[in-house]
Structure 1
Amino acid sequence: MRKAFTLIEMLISVTILSIMMVFLYKSYASLNSSNYFLKKELNIIKSQQLKKRVVFLDFSLALDKKVNIINQDSHVDVVFMQSSNSLHRKYNPYVAYIVKESKLYRLESLQEFKEYPLNQDSVFSIDSLGEVDSFRVYKSNDNLKEAYLIHAEFKQGEEILLKVKVLED
C-alpha cells in the first residue's frame, strides 16, 4: 500500500487544475464584459424613459388648457405652458421647452414665460434633455378634448413620439 502521491499524479492534478482555472477566468471575464454592456444599455434606456416621462407628465398635467406653441422653423417649436409637474419642487411651475444650438432645454420657473427670446431678468431652472435634430409639437383641432402630438428626434438616434391628452381637473 502507498501512502503518498507520485510525482506524475501531482503534475497531472496541477495541470487539470490550471486548465480549469483558465476556463473559469475566461468565463469570469466574459461575464464582466457582458455586465458592462448591459449596464451601459440600461442607462441609455433609463435616460430615454426619463425624458419620455417628463414630457408626458408636463403635457398631461398642463393647467388652464393654455399651452403656447411658437413655431421657430420647420424643425423647431418653442413651447410655453403651466403644469402641475415639477422637477424642482415648485408649485404649479411655468414650463418652457426651448431648442438652442441644437439642444433641447426644459425651463421651469415660478414666473410666466411670455415671449421668446426670454428676458434677461428671467429666473428659471434649466434641464438639458439632449441634442436634437427636431422638436415639434402639434395641437389637436378637436375642441372637446385638448390633445398634443409631441415629436422629438434626438441626434443619438432615439426618438420621442407621444400623443398626450390633457387631463381634466
Structure 2
Amino acid sequence: MLRNAYKKSGLTVADLASATGLSVGTVNIAMSGIRYRDGKAKVAIPADRTLVKLASVLRIQPEALRAHDRQRAAELLAEATDPSAVSPIASDLDAQAVAAGRSALARQVLALFAAEELRAELERRGRAEHDAIDREAWDDVADTLRSDQWPV
C-alpha cells in the first residue's frame, strides 16, 4: 500500500522524509518492510506513528489502513486529518514536518505548470482582483447616489 501510494505521488524519498520529519532510512525501511541488522534482512513493520506520518503525506485514507489491519494507525490518521479537531502541533519537529509537507505539495503542484502558464494565471488573478475593486467602488457610488444624502 505504501509503495503504491509512494510511486503515484511522484515524491522522492528525500521529499517524503522531509515532509514527514522522518529520516531517509526510516522511510526506506517503511517502504520496503525490511530492516538489515548484522547483515541479515529482517521483516520490519512500521510503527503506527510512522505509518500515520507517511499516510498523511501520501494521501492514504484511514479505510485503507483498516483494510490492512492497522486499526490504531487508522484511528490516529483519522484524528490527524479531522478538520473539526483543533489540535495544536505537538512539537517543533511536528511543525517542521507539517511545513515540509506543505512545501513538498506546493512543489508538486507548481511542477505541473510551465512558467508562462503561472505568469498568465497571476496576471489573470491580478485583473480579476482589479475588476472586483472597480465593481465595489462603482457599487459604493451607486449606493451613495441612492441614499438620502443626495437629492434625487
Please report the TM-score for the alignment, with normalisation by the length of structure 2.
0.23
Higher helix share: 2
Q: Which has the higher contact order (CA 8 A, sep 6+)?
A: 2
Structure with the higher strand share, 1 or 2: 1
- Length-normalised TM-score, structure 1: 0.21
The structure number with the bigger radius of gyration is 1
